[in-house]
Amino acid sequence: MEARVRIYQFINTGICHGSVEGMTGRKGMVTDMAKQIKTIGVLTSGGDAPGMNAAIRAVVRKAIANGVKVKGIKKGYQGLLNEEIIDMEKWSVSDTIQRGGTILGTARCHEFRTEEGQQKGADICHKHGIDGLVVIGGDGSYRGAQALSRHGINTIGLPGTIDLDIACTEYTIGFDTAINTAMQAIDKVRDTSSSHERCSIIEVMGRNAGYIALWCGISNGAEDILIPEKYDYNEQQIINNIIANRKRGKTHHLIINAEGIGHSTSMARRIEAATGIETRATILGYMQRGGSPTCKDRYYASIMGCYAADILCEGKTNRVVGYQHGEFLDFDIEEALNMQKGIPEYPFEMSKVLSQ
Catalytic residue annotation: 163
Site string for ligand F6P, 247-286 (x = CB under 6 A): ------------x---------------------------
User: Any contact of residue 148 with ligand ADP (CB under 6 A)?
Assistant: no
* Comparison of 48 and 223: residue with beta carbon closer to ligand ADP: 48
Among 161, 181, 200, 241, binds ligand F6P (CB under 6 A): 161
Residue 203 sits in the site that holds ligand F6P (CB under 6 A): no
Out of 163, 203, 224, 297, which residue is the one contacting ligand F6P (CB under 6 A)? 163
Q: Give DSSP secondary structure letters for 340-355.
A: -----HHHHHHHHHHT
Q: How many residues bind ligand F6P (CB under 6 A)?
A: 9
- β-partners of residue 332 are 319
Query: In the bound complex, what is the minimum distance in angstroms from residue 46's beta carbon to ligand ADP?
Result: 2
**Which residues ranging from 57 to 86 are in contact with ligand ADP (CB under 6 A)?**
77
Q: 184 vs 237, which CB is nearer to ligand F6P?
A: 184
Question: Using CB under 6 A as the criterion, what x/- string covers residues 20-49 for binding ligand F6P?
Answer: ---------------------------x--
Residue 161 or 275 with smaller CB distance to ligand ADP: 161
How many Å apart are CA 77 and CA 90, to the nearest integer?
Answer: 23
Burial state string for 194-223 with b = 16 or more CB within 10 A and e = fewer than 16: eeeebbbbbbbbbbebbbbbbbbbbebebb
Q: Cα-flanking dihedrals φ and ψ of residue 225, to 5°?
A: -125, 120
Question: Shortest Cβ distance from residue 164 to ligand ADP (Å)?
Answer: 12
Residues in the chain: 356
82 close to 328: Cβ distance less than 8 angstroms: no
Q: How far apart are CA 312 and CA 309, in angstroms?
A: 5
Q: Other CB atoms closer than 10 Å to residue 95's CB: what's the count?
A: 10
- In angstroms, the CA 277 to CA 279 distance is 6
Residue 51 · residue 295 · CB < 8 Å: no
Which partner, ligand ADP, ligand F6P, none, binds residue 137 by CB below 5 to 8 Å per kind?
A: ligand ADP
First to last CA, the chain: 41
The site for ligand ADP (CB under 6 A) is made up of 45-47, 77, 108-109, 112-113, 137-141, 143-144, 147, 161
Q: Which residues bind ligand F6P (CB under 6 A)?
A: 47, 161-163, 205-207, 259, 289
